């Protein structure tokens, strides 16, 4: 029993270390997280589509914060963009409502990882590579993120992993 607990601990530590060290050009580790408004989501199932992950920070029923992100994401769905909000539950906090999936990070979920610093926005290419990472004052830089998203989706110059 102790052996299995140790293995789970090592997997969690390794996954968290990998997630914290992500930089553009890196393969993004897979995760599975439950959605507060639908079925669980697995990142690897989105291979073939561009993905935008919006990592939320200190979010208690913060729908108003998500509205601009939601409109931005929905305006690019025609280009195949998949967008998920990732929320970490805290004591007494309620999940935000959104028409888009809100994934709930749970520390007890060995198939999930959390990105720090948050808030953050990631653009992940269709082959699972992190193309863009916005981490500094993300909510104040929505116009910049929107502009980069437009260029990224229109030019389709994804990072390619060298085999």
Which domains does the chain show, CATH number per domain? 2-155 (3.40.30.10)
pLDDT value, residue 162: 52
Distance CA 4, CA 32 (A): 20
**Which residues does the chain have with pLDDT short of 50?**
3-4, 6-8, 10-19, 163
Task: Report which DSSP code applies to 29.
Answer: P
Write down the pLDDT at residue 141. Answer: 94
pTM summary value: 0.84
> Can you give the pLDDT at residue 45?
96
Residues 6 or more apart whose CB falls under 8 angstroms from that of 143 comprise none
Helix (H) and strand (E) counts in the chain: 3, 7
Strand 102-105, strand 120-124: pairing: unpaired
Sign of CA dihedral 142, 148, 154, 157: negative
For residues 49 and 123, the answer to whether their CB atoms sit within 8 Å is no
Output the six-digit token pair for 16. 């968290």
- The structure tokens 């390619």 sit at 160
């Amino acid at each position: 029993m102790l052996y299995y607990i140790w293995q789970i601990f090592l997997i969690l530590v390794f996954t968290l270390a990998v997630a914290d060290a992500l930089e553009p050009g890196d393969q993004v580790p897979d995760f599975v997280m439950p959605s507060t408004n639908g079925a669980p989501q697995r990142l690897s199932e989105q291979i073939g589509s561009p993905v935008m992950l919006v990592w939320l920070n200190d979010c208690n029923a913060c729908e108003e914060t998500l509205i601009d992100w939601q409109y931005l994401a929905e305006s690019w769905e025609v280009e195949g963009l998949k967008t998920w909000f990732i929320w970490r539950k805290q004591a007494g906090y309620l999940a935000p409502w959104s028409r888009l999936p809100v994934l709930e990070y749970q520390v007890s979920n060995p198939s999930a990882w959390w990105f720090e610093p948050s808030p953050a926005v990631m653009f992940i290419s269709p082959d699972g590579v992190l193309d863009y990472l916005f981490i500094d004052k993300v909510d104040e830089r929505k116009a910049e993120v929107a502009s980069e998203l437009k260029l990224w989706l229109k030019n389709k110059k994804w990072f390619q992993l060298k085999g």
